[in-house]
Amino acid sequence: MASLSSIYIFWYREVLRIWRDKIRVVGSLAMPLLWLLVFGAGFSRLVQVGPGVDFAKFMFPGIVGMTVLMTSFMSGVSIVWERELGFLKEVLVAPVPRSTIVIGKALGSATVSMFQGSLVLGLAPLLGVKLTPMLVFKLWPLMALVALTSSALGILVASRMKSMEGFQLIMQATIMPMLFLSGVFFPVNSLPPWMGLIVKVNPITYAVDAIRQVALAGEAALQDVASVPWRVTVYQHTMTVLQDTLVVVAFGIVMGGLAVWSFGRQD
């Protein structure tokens, strides 16, 4: 019972921090709007991704996934910030298992990123994407899974960082390339072999693919084609939503375990 109470406290603290910073919540829509309305619209006539789906529609699920992933990963900044202020030492000496700190922070950041991802889902009508309430209910569990996985990764990285600059450097050197090589901005099956290999060992690829399959399931034009060119294939096998989800679950379990282990070794 005490552990559940501790998890709630850390969850509430993460959510409260964002709730008090409403400008940050609204500002989180700026980058998705820039990608979708400028980049997506500008390249719609140049990039062909499949019948009945223009480039902006193709990008939309990827931008949703990117928003959820980046928001939850950046929650790790709070750990670095608390370490620099000395507050983390007070948290670590609290008479609660350190795993509850990780779980509470991960759940809190996942809640915030889910909210921001849902705001991006509201842009669907602007792009002509047909999102029914049923599709939204199917997307939320996938978004929650991606958010928790990314939160665990962010906590893992932050637990080893001593400064904000170090955290941002790791983000730019690893997370940003993983995002750009995940199929957010282009179909993964039209890449050179060496790049295709990198994309298909990238776990974020399968998170984006699962969200895209569900988000575009309402597009009537896709119902009449035998194969969709942007679907991820591994050894000539086209991945289903369930298989993509299992890959993300496996990655999330590994990241969660490593985050708990690494945070438990804090001094």
Task: Render pLDDT for 67-76 as a digit per residue (tens, 0 to 9).
Answer: 888 888 877 7
d(CA 103, CA 61): 27
pTM, two decimals, is: 0.86
Binned at pLDDT 50, 70 and 90, residue 250 comes out as very high
d(CA 229, CA 51): 9
Binned at pLDDT 50, 70 and 90, residue 9 comes out as confident
pLDDT at 219 over 50: yes
Q: Give the pLDDT confidence score for residue 226 in this predicted structure.
A: 45
Question: Nearest 5°: CA angle at 145, between 233 and 175?
Answer: 70
Domain residue ranges in the chain: 2-264
User: Which of 82-86, 102-106, 115-119, 138-142 has the lowest average pLDDT?
Assistant: 82-86
CB 157 within 8 A of CB 77: no
Q: Give the pLDDT confidence score for residue 2 in this predicted structure.
A: 56
Helix 55-73 vs helix 133-159: angle between axes, to the nearest 10 degrees?
A: 40
